[in-house]
Structure 1
Amino acid sequence: MSPAAPPFPRLLLCVCLTAASLETFAGSDFVPLKASPALSPAAPKGQRMEGPNQVEADRLEGIQNVYFEAEGKVVMRNLREQVEADWIRYDQAADEAHARGHIVLTQERDRLEGSELKLQLTPRLGSMKDVAYALHGKDGGLMRGAAKSIQFQGPDRYQMESATYSTCPANEQDWVLKMDELNLDYIGSLGSARQVHVEYLNVPILYSPWLDFSLDSKRKSGFLTPTYGATTDRGLELIVPWYWNIAPNRDATFTPRLMTRRGLQLGGEFRYLEAHYGGELNLELLPNDNLANRARYRGLIHHQQQFDSRWSGNLNYERVSDNTYFTDLSSMVSETSQTNIPREASLAYEGGWWRGSGRLQGYQTLQDPAATPLSDSQIPYRRLPQLTLSANRPGLVGASSQFAFSSEFVNFAHPGTTLSEGSRLHLNPSISMAVNTPYSVFTPKLGWYLTRYDLDNVAAGDRSQTRSLPMFSVDTSLFLERDLAWNGQNFIQTLEPRLYYVYIPLRQQASIPVFDSGVSDLSLDQMFSENQFTSVDRINDANQLTLAFTSRFLERSNGMERLEVTLGQRFYFSDQLVTLPGTSARSSNTTDLLGQASGQVNNKLRLSGGLQFNTDTNQIAKANLGGTWRDGPGRLFNADYRYTQGNLNQIDLSAQWPLAPKWHGLTRLNYSIKESRLVEGLAGFEYNAGCWSLRGIAQRLATSQTTTTSAFFLQLELHGLTRLGPNPLDVLKRSITGYVPSNQLTQPDASLSY
């Protein structure tokens, strides 16, 4: 005769969902768009689990089919939950349960306590007084709170009076979310709260007289977290975004940004997602920059379209008002380092083993006012249009054969007046056949380069040009291994020699203009390519052999790679005479010697390095050396050195390291030895109190050859609720490889040893 338990599982989620929804008022991370409900069927609602109920008590009495009364250590349970109380009475005619004393409801690890419960079970009408709860979140964190009372107002409808929420320990509630009234309607998936405020160290820091929100993870319109900061170029900054949830598959964010030195900037973003297309629109407008004394703007459009299973399209367009827009108004390296902003519209077709595409591409080129003006040759050509067709067909003339075909037609246009313009048609068919054994691969290949140019702004005799070049290559690899014992451990050592021969006859190409070709950086990957140039305005003559050796050391017990070493060099059997304008032909019969190595020295230290050595001059052309030391969660040190003869000489150090219990230090130093200047400097701290964290970061960043900017971040994170202040996490993750926020570390740092 025991009653069915009330639907407490939903109630256990209510305050937690309210706290999460506060991020709509106080801030949230990036929220992805969802497909429109019209585009996909709704998920079926979950079934409630009902099971046999049991009642245990020191005293149990009643009349069958009328009532029962239990007293003394009363325990009532079903498959989902358990209710404990000092006294419980159930009247079957009224379908009403009363409980008094110390009432405890548990479901798995979640716990709800109260002093009195009165509930009509079928209509779900009643109340519970003096409520306290402890809930476990999806991430394992513990959430606590209380309420003066809970009113059950029907199936899946609740009202809480004087409710609180926190993730702090019960005896150290450094922060708490308080609400005078909380209403939850799971039928309508709506919630509302009155007189909502957050206290931090007993000081109110956030307040809203009214808050309404969704209970089913749907996005909700409202203000996001105001962010603030300070930089030397822009002064104090305050950003107050407002989010508009237009539909499940459409939203917009309006972002006013007040900069004390430059003025008020207005920003907006609109996103959309449909079954076959999606994209975003962005606009930033500074009507009057107080320092530059002019209006400044940025506009951006991204659109992707899937017309059917084979046809797709893209549109990407971006424009800024002036050359220094990013260096003046942004602190992101990805933006301040831009010189050419690409714009393009493309259309592609996927035909299985063949594919085609077409695009229009141009650029906005930004000129650093403090640098030497860019010449026409430093400004990229526009492709108006570019058409490509390619194919890959295995087994065309044999099971191990591979037929490949690539082609391109481009019409090149240039905004300058001194360079040639015109069109280029390029065809490159090839066929290869791989001969495989358990220990080797032998792959001969035949190909042909066919190119035609139709040019403007050149001498009359050079307007139409053609070039035809055959190509032959052989790629051979061996895979050898042996057992090796060293320092008490058993290893497998591999030896993997590789030979790659290429022959391409000489064709004079000096009269052909250079539209989009440069010399590829020498690397181990590039050594095994046919052409040393980045595009087809130049096809090198070749009679050359690349020889490389790779050796790996693998632990026999688990296959872990402890060390990998590779050496490689290219040998020329004839002079290579095809060059770019303004460059001289190669004078050596070998390339520089290349080497690279990487290894897991032990469980804490990983090292890697690379070397490019000129064997003619006995000088280092390029070098890099790096290492990472990980001594447990939050104990990280990175060191890198990069050198390029005549161009680059930098050291780069970064670390995340515990300074004391709960404290972590954060730093990065990227210094140019060649230029004697700081490229990027960062220093800061993190304090993790368990239920809240504080991050303070100072950053100095070179935005151009002669200018720098400084930024300051101070962020308070209330775990399980929201973040307040300018967000340094993106800067930290980019600047410190391997950085993890201290509140996300898998182990605490309380057991520090010094």
Structure 2
Amino acid sequence: MPRQSRKLRLLILATLASTGASTSFMVQAGPTAWSCQTDPATGGWSCNQSGDKAQAAKAVRMAQQAAGVAELSDEQIEIATSLPRTATPATTTPLAESMAAARITREQSASPATPTATATAEPVADTDSGIAPQIVTASEANPDTTPDTTPDTTPIEAAQSHAAPIEPSDVIPAQSKPAPLAAVERRVIDLSAKPAVLATEASPPDSPETPQPTPEVQALKVATARLPESPDEQKQDAASPTPAPTDEARNANSADVIDQPTDTGVTEASVAANDPYGLTRRAGQVSDAEIADLQAAQRLLDLGQADESHSVSPALQRLKQASLETQSDSASQIPASIDDHVPGDWPADLFDDSLPPIPDHVAIGDIDTYPEIDNRRAWALCGTNNDPSMTRDVPVQAVPNRESLPTYATADDVQGKRQKYYTLFGDAELRRGDQLLQGDIIHYDATTERADAEGNVRYREAGLAMDSDWGYLVMANDTGEFGRSNYYMPERHGRGTAEHVDVNSRTLMEGQTTTYTTCNYGVDSWYLDSAELELDRANGVGTATNAWVMIHGIPVAYTPWITFPIDDRRKSGLLPPSYGSSDINGAEVTVPFYWNIAPHRDATIIPTYYENRGVRVDTLFRYLNPESSGLIVADVLADDDIYGKDRGFFHLDHKATLSSNLLLDVYGSHVSDRFFLKDFADTYFNSDTTYLQRYAKLTWSPEDWLITGRIHEDVLIDTTIPTTSRPYRLLPDVTASTSHFDIDTGLEYNFDSRMTYFQNASRLESGRINLNPVVRMPFRESYGFVTPEITLNHTQWHLNTGNIGSADEHQYLTVPSFAVDSGMYFDKEFAFAGTSLIHTIEPRLRYTFTPNTDQSTRPLFDSGLQGITYSNLFLNNRFSGGDRVGDANQIAAGVTTRLQQETGTDLATLSFGELFYLDDREVNIGPQTDADRAANSDFVAELTASLPFGIQASNTLLWDHKRNKTRTNNWYLSYSQGPEQYIRYSYSHTSDYIRESQVDIAWPISSRWHGIASWNRDDLRNQDIQSTLGLEYETCCWAVRFVAETKYDQYSTSQGTATLEDVTSFMFQLELKGLAGLGNDVKKLFGSSAYY
């Protein structure tokens, strides 16, 4: 519960020690204390003070008000709050007279052997501030010589009397023992303490047979002390001090009840400290019941558990009013800052935020609780639960070792027998760590730690809230039973009802005739109605038997057994079944099963029945080990009724760390036919995939080297393509590279090498070695750079022609290359709309010369002409692969300009340039074309922009100078406000035969409605390729999604051939949040995946 942020902490400790003719006393307010001593020679007194002077003056005034004495003069306050000082007033003050009279009284009554008493302080843990407030008691230095001295008036009675000023008899020697309180009500007790501590026998505090209460318990006794009924009773008690009870009376009292009179050993200052509102001075003016209410309110305020919304607010208001009235009735004058306050409001100057808060021995404020409004994305639409009593004060995490923590009891009244059995009446509660049990009445057996609660029972622990009409809990082993109950689990936003609940352990409970839902209280859009329900919070699983799924009170599905998650952990069980339909497949039904094998392994088995095809079983297995991870997929459609044979798809992706510098990567896929991915395109790859990769690769990185070895194969999906046209297998392909920088000369050395064996049973096979050493001498300055470099390209082929010893068995090619790369850097800072920006211009120029070497007779395995991009303008070799080295006598010119933030982040980048050829290109793959004789290349421009407000844009443009037309023009524009709120447009013009445009929109129509749309069109053929439209409606606990799609593509027929046609399908999903969904996995279309 919320705590008071501003609290009054005032503790006044007086007459702590007496030595000879002088008297020592102390005044303490919060962490500030003043140690004072009288001077018998002058009648004055001096104090050592640390802290604020105004605070000291306030403490002195509060001291006089608490004791009911006359207000001190400004001179006396000045003396009390000054630094070490001795006052020698010309005339004796009233306080000095009181002190002197007290001294005379002690001198007359004390014997010469009077020992010196010393003050000791025992700290009480302060859970809020870490500051240990002091409870100060007087202990004798020599207990064997204790005098038999009895005062005429006890400190308690002096505090209860509001007659001023203090008389000499009101001040007692420190070594004297105070009389016991008239009665004690223990409203907060430590049930885990030793029985001797709990017992409140009416025996003297120094009795050797009864151990004394701990400081915490003693302080609580003072805070709830029962007061005499009237001032007459006070005077009667002063005249006749209460004698110590006999042994028979002690035994009789301790055997039956725990609220009998007892001697607490509490000083006058302790009572004043725990009664800052003047209750002791109002005895006889209010009834016992009102005093009890006021004391309960005072206790709640001190514990920081009361605010204006608390049920005890009326008592708090009466308490505040009583405090002000008591101060106005006193002979002292209230300071103006207090006197001007409206009754019922706290005087602002009575609080000091720097003072430490009162220790909260329940410590519930130190436990994080769930917020009343759940801001997690899945439950963002739930808002505030309609039953806040269920959602309030639910701890998030369990307190470790809860069973070893003490148990605290709080109630309006407490009764007990034989120090074992207790009954708590009125707002009763038990607390232990994160555990809370509340009720109108609680019976507690300390021997078995069983608590039986009756009426308005509330139970709270980490992740669980439960309200019931009755229940019992054995706190030793967290077992028990509850009657008709409402329960709430905030982690999954789950709640429900049960006619009877069995608590079997800390994390396991079972209910009979139960309901379960994740909807808000009072809005049961759906719920699970079951005969029995088990909630296993240790494993995060709920299990219901004989259950009906109810939607708006209508049963829609029955299951004899169902499990569902009650937290965010993975679990085994059936996943949401799905339903769909398409023109080709007909109706389809899917019932997936998830198998949580281990924390690092799981499998998803997805059987699907197609009306026109048969049964397809798709299995996905994942694993994650300390040194490896991977995915295995096996998708089988046995005896496809349309295709006419068995079909399937297999996939493996495995990565492993064999040592600190050795990695293994295995990847491969296989498909039965070229139409499988088109018929089930949304499963793994795009329907336009033409080949599948397979490879196994080892990567070794010893010191300055990077070495990789792999076997690689690109498998064409279309098996009708002749083997002579299929790509080569690389068996194996080994690369090694290193680099070095010589500090003395400034030279950079790079060395790249590759050894490959190309294998194809129907084509020429060969082994090939490529060696490419490079030497650079970079010259760099802040405004630019110049880097000359020399490259040697060496290639060697070992041809497997079958003619051993033939001249063409070994071929070599060595071609040098020289280049000079240079660039400049210009920048300017400016401000736009209050934002500092940087504009840069970066021109670049590169000259490359590679001599023409006849390569027409050299074999060709993997080389091809690289496409033109801005970065490719500055390459030495215009060919990819290792079989061709292009001749070059050319200049590459380009400019890059950037718009940057002060941090260096690019807002927009524009690069453009082209190649200027000084000679025709003679080396090529096929016959020489007009492009090989052109004076310059296509003009290339690339633009990227990432602007504020979620705007992104990119463009790639190739302009053909000779034909004066655009060769390539690709655009991408996007406005995005998140993964589920965007508008995207793309246009692709990559050749004379491909011109496509696509629009994708995902946008929330309102807080509950969400829409998606997609449109892909072939502009050359004037044909819609694919169009999609979807709507989603979402509430706090359920969502419904519908997607319709039309796709123009090739699909398999009964003869195993392809047909090109439009196919329409639809997908539907009803998701019951926290339980399951009913429908296809279309949630991924709206921004997230239902499974991963």
Please state which band the TM-score falls in when normalised by the shorter chain: 0.7 to 0.9
Deviates more, 1:273-282 or 1:315-324: 273-282
Tell me by how many angstroms 1:652 deviates.
Answer: 0.9
Tell me by how many angstroms 1:501 deviates.
Answer: 3.2
- 1:167 aligned partner: 518
Secondary structure at the residue paired with 2:647? strand
Count of equivalent residues: 692
Equivalent-residue separation in structure 1 for 2:1037 and 2:598 (angstroms): 34
Work out which of the residue numbers 411, 425, 437 in structure 2 matches 1:71.
425
- Indicate yes or no: 2:791 matched with 1:447: yes
* Closer/same/farther in 2, CA of residues 220 and 446 from structure 1, 3 Å limit: same
Deviates more, 1:395-404 or 1:539-548: 395-404
- 1:437 aligned partner: 781
- 2:731 aligned partner: 384
Tell me by how many angstroms 1:655 deviates.
Answer: 0.5
The residue type paired with residue 1082 of structure 2 is P
Equivalent-residue separation in structure 2 for 1:49 and 1:95 (angstroms): 11
Equivalent-residue separation in structure 2 for 1:174 and 1:385 (angstroms): 62
Tell me by how many angstroms 1:697 deviates.
Answer: 1.0
* Closer/same/farther in 2, CA of residues 657 and 245 from structure 1, 3 Å limit: closer
Work out which of the residue numbers 495, 502, 511 in structure 1 matches 2:841.
495
Equivalent-residue separation in structure 1 for 2:537 and 2:1009 (angstroms): 42
Higher Cα Rg: structure 1 or 2? 2
Contact 2:627–2:657 (Cα < 8 Å) also in 1: yes
Work out which of the residue numbers 514, 525, 534 in structure 1 matches 2:871.
525
- Indicate yes or no: 2:1071 matched with 1:717: yes
- Indicate yes or no: 2:509 matched with 1:158: yes
Report the TM-score when normalising by structure 1: 0.82
Equivalent-residue separation in structure 2 for 1:689 and 1:214 (angstroms): 19
Secondary structure at the residue paired with 1:453? strand
Matches within 5 A, 1:647-726: 647-660=993-1006, 662-704=1008-1050, 706-707=1060-1061, 709-726=1063-1080
Matches within 5 A, 1:196-595: 196-211=547-562, 220-272=571-623, 274-332=625-683, 334-367=685-718, 374=721, 378-388=725-735, 390-396=736-742, 398=744, 401-414=747-760, 416=762, 419-456=763-800, 461-486=807-832, 490-556=836-902, 561-582=906-927, 584=929, 586-595=932-941
Tell me by how many angstroms 1:247 deviates.
Answer: 4.9
Tell me by how many angstroms 1:396 deviates.
Answer: 4.5
Contact 1:117–1:127 (Cα < 8 Å) also in 2: yes
Contact 1:266–1:285 (Cα < 8 Å) also in 2: yes
The residue type paired with residue 554 of structure 1 is Q
Equivalent-residue separation in structure 2 for 1:729 and 1:476 (angstroms): 52
* Closer/same/farther in 2, CA of residues 376 and 627 from structure 1, 3 Å limit: same
The residue type paired with residue 119 of structure 1 is L
* Closer/same/farther in 2, CA of residues 526 and 333 from structure 1, 3 Å limit: farther
Tell me by how many angstroms 1:397 deviates.
Answer: 5.9
Equivalent-residue separation in structure 1 for 2:833 and 2:541 (angstroms): 66
- 1:90 aligned partner: 444
- 2:458 aligned partner: 104
Secondary structure at the residue paired with 1:101? strand
Instruction: Report which of the two has the higher share of helix.
Output: 2
* Closer/same/farther in 2, CA of residues 719 and 216 from structure 1, 3 Å limit: closer
Q: CA-atom RMSD, angstroms?
A: 3.7
Contact 2:1081–2:1089 (Cα < 8 Å) also in 1: no
* Closer/same/farther in 2, CA of residues 551 and 65 from structure 1, 3 Å limit: farther
Tell me by how many angstroms 1:668 deviates.
Answer: 0.6
- 1:32 aligned partner: none
Equivalent-residue separation in structure 2 for 1:466 and 1:47 (angstroms): 77
Secondary structure at the residue paired with 1:586? helix
Equivalent-residue separation in structure 2 for 1:521 and 1:509 (angstroms): 21
Equivalent-residue separation in structure 1 for 2:567 and 2:518 (angstroms): 22
Contact 1:234–1:329 (Cα < 8 Å) also in 2: no
* Closer/same/farther in 2, CA of residues 564 and 273 from structure 1, 3 Å limit: closer
Contact 1:3–1:90 (Cα < 8 Å) also in 2: no
Secondary structure at the residue paired with 1:538? coil
The residue type paired with residue 210 of structure 1 is W
Equivalent-residue separation in structure 1 for 2:539 and 2:867 (angstroms): 61
The residue type paired with residue 952 of structure 2 is R
Deviates more, 1:193-202 or 1:162-171: 193-202
The residue type paired with residue 700 of structure 1 is T
Say which structure, 1 or 2, has more relative contact order (CA 8 Å, 6+ apart): 1
The residue type paired with residue 524 of structure 2 is Q
Contact 1:50–1:79 (Cα < 8 Å) also in 2: no
Contact 1:82–1:105 (Cα < 8 Å) also in 2: yes
Deviates more, 1:336-345 or 1:280-289: 280-289
The residue type paired with residue 579 of structure 1 is N
Contact 2:191–2:408 (Cα < 8 Å) also in 1: no
Contact 1:69–1:87 (Cα < 8 Å) also in 2: yes
Work out which of the residue numbers 957, 961, 965 in structure 2 matches 1:619.
965
Tell me by how many angstroms 1:86 deviates.
Answer: 2.2
Equivalent-residue separation in structure 1 for 2:782 and 2:455 (angstroms): 77
Report the TM-score when normalising by structure 2: 0.58
* Closer/same/farther in 2, CA of residues 528 and 720 from structure 1, 3 Å limit: farther
* Closer/same/farther in 2, CA of residues 189 and 222 from structure 1, 3 Å limit: closer
Gaps of 5+ in 2: 1-188, 193-361, 371-398, 1051-1058
Secondary structure at the residue paired with 1:288? coil
* Closer/same/farther in 2, CA of residues 78 and 466 from structure 1, 3 Å limit: same
- 2:986 aligned partner: 640
* Closer/same/farther in 2, CA of residues 622 and 513 from structure 1, 3 Å limit: same
Equivalent-residue separation in structure 2 for 1:95 and 1:49 (angstroms): 11
* Closer/same/farther in 2, CA of residues 503 and 333 from structure 1, 3 Å limit: farther
Tell me by how many angstroms 1:662 deviates.
Answer: 1.9
Tell me by how many angstroms 1:159 deviates.
Answer: 2.4
Secondary structure at the residue paired with 1:294? coil
Gaps of 5+ in 1: 14-44, 734-738, 743-754
Equivalent-residue separation in structure 2 for 1:145 and 1:551 (angstroms): 63
- 2:482 aligned partner: 128
The residue type paired with residue 922 of structure 2 is L
Tell me by how many angstroms 1:293 deviates.
Answer: 2.0
Secondary structure at the residue paired with 2:797? strand
Contact 2:917–2:935 (Cα < 8 Å) also in 1: yes
Tell me by how many angstroms 1:727 deviates.
Answer: 0.8
Deviates more, 1:484-493 or 1:213-222: 213-222
- 1:42 aligned partner: none
Equivalent-residue separation in structure 2 for 1:685 and 1:212 (angstroms): 29
Contact 1:462–1:511 (Cα < 8 Å) also in 2: no
Equivalent-residue separation in structure 1 for 2:673 and 2:490 (angstroms): 52
Equivalent-residue separation in structure 2 for 1:427 and 1:256 (angstroms): 53
Equivalent-residue separation in structure 2 for 1:547 and 1:271 (angstroms): 50
- 2:471 aligned partner: 117
Tell me by how many angstroms 1:95 deviates.
Answer: 2.4
Equivalent-residue separation in structure 1 for 2:403 and 2:479 (angstroms): 21
Identical amino acids, percent of aligned pairs: 26
Deviates more, 1:667-676 or 1:704-713: 704-713
* Closer/same/farther in 2, CA of residues 405 and 659 from structure 1, 3 Å limit: same
* Closer/same/farther in 2, CA of residues 482 and 410 from structure 1, 3 Å limit: same
Secondary structure at the residue paired with 2:685? helix
The residue type paired with residue 382 of structure 1 is R
Tell me by how many angstroms 1:528 deviates.
Answer: 2.8
Equivalent-residue separation in structure 1 for 2:633 and 2:484 (angstroms): 50
Tell me by how many angstroms 1:149 deviates.
Answer: 2.7
Equivalent-residue separation in structure 1 for 2:811 and 2:666 (angstroms): 33
Secondary structure at the residue paired with 1:65? coil
Equivalent-residue separation in structure 1 for 2:993 and 2:640 (angstroms): 36
Tell me by how many angstroms 1:468 deviates.
Answer: 0.6
Equivalent-residue separation in structure 2 for 1:471 and 1:630 (angstroms): 47
